[in-house]
Structure 1
Amino acid sequence: MDEVPAPHTGWTFVTSHARVLAAIADDHHVRIRDIAAHCRLTERAVQKIIADLEQDGYLAHTRTGRTNTYQIVPGKGLRHPAEAGMGLTVASLLALLVQDEAERTAQPGNPSHHSTA
């Protein structure tokens, strides 16, 4: 089993909750183990964050067999009064954090980028 990379020390602009939400937005079937590795968190921390997001209505999931499928509530306003007062939503946050898969693979320098020229 892969180990979780060392956590980042010091402060960052983006919270762990936002990182987990962005990982889920990128893949609605992502495993907790993969979120943890991507976000440099423990699986237990990811489970707690997902529970927080679900409790406050930002996220829901359905379970099919051993697989979770997550649904994000894109129109829900952000929690902090400064962002909420500006009308910022989960969708606006995710637009900044998540690139569409097509954009990522189309970027020059990406090993999976194939030129059509």
Structure 2
Amino acid sequence: MGEAPEPHTGWTFLTSHARVLAAIAGKHRPRVRDIAAHCLLTERAVQKIISDLEDDGYLTHEREGRSNVYRIQPGTILRHPAEADLTVAALLSLLVQHDVRRAAG
């Protein structure tokens, strides 16, 4: 297992849940280890976040062999009342585009 990333102090604009969802959206079959490294979280934290996202209907998964295949529910509305008209797909389109540009640059 890899080292746990250094903890972040202070606040951030994006929650860990949004970061994990974006990491899953950018990959076909992401491993928890890879998601954790990408998001600078521990594997345990990522597993908990994935469970939260599944419990609230934002994400499903199926086992295929030894891998999990995640499916994001793009039409799901964001949780906060101020974003009640925004879908997961709208949020992810921005975050995934940013990750693609960052990887290319």
Fold agreement, TM-score > 0.5? yes
- Residue 93 and residue 75 in structure 1: after superposition, are their counterparts in 2 closer, same or farther (change >3 A)? same
Q: Contact 1:28–1:71 (CA<8 Å) still a contact in 2?
A: no
Alignment of 1:30-69 (within 5 A): 30-69=30-69
Q: Contact 2:5–2:42 (CA<8 Å) still a contact in 1?
A: no
Q: What letter corresponds to residue 40 of structure 1 in structure 2?
A: L
**Uncovered stretches (5+) of structure 2, i.e. residues with no partner:** none
**Uncovered stretches (5+) of structure 1, i.e. residues with no partner:** 111-117
Partner of 2:89: 91
- Structure 1 or 2: larger helix share? 2
Matched residue count: 105
- Tell me how far 1:106 sits from its aligned partner: 9.4
- Residue 105 and residue 23 in structure 1: after superposition, are their counterparts in 2 closer, same or farther (change >3 A)? closer
Cα RMSD after superposing both structures: 2.0
CA–CA distance in structure 2, aligned partners of residues 48 and 27 of structure 1: 19
Q: Contact 2:24–2:30 (CA<8 Å) still a contact in 1?
A: yes
Return the TM-score normalized by structure 2. Answer: 0.90
- Tell me how far 1:105 sits from its aligned partner: 8.8
Q: Contact 2:29–2:67 (CA<8 Å) still a contact in 1?
A: yes
Query: Between the two proteins, what is the percent identity of the paired residues?
Result: 71
User: Structure 1 stretches (4+) deviating beyond 4 angstroms?
Assistant: none
- Residue 18 and residue 106 in structure 1: after superposition, are their counterparts in 2 closer, same or farther (change >3 A)? closer
- Tell me how far 1:3 sits from its aligned partner: 1.7
Q: Contact 1:29–1:67 (CA<8 Å) still a contact in 2?
A: yes
- The secondary structure found in structure 1 opposite 2:57 is coil
Partner of 2:80: 80
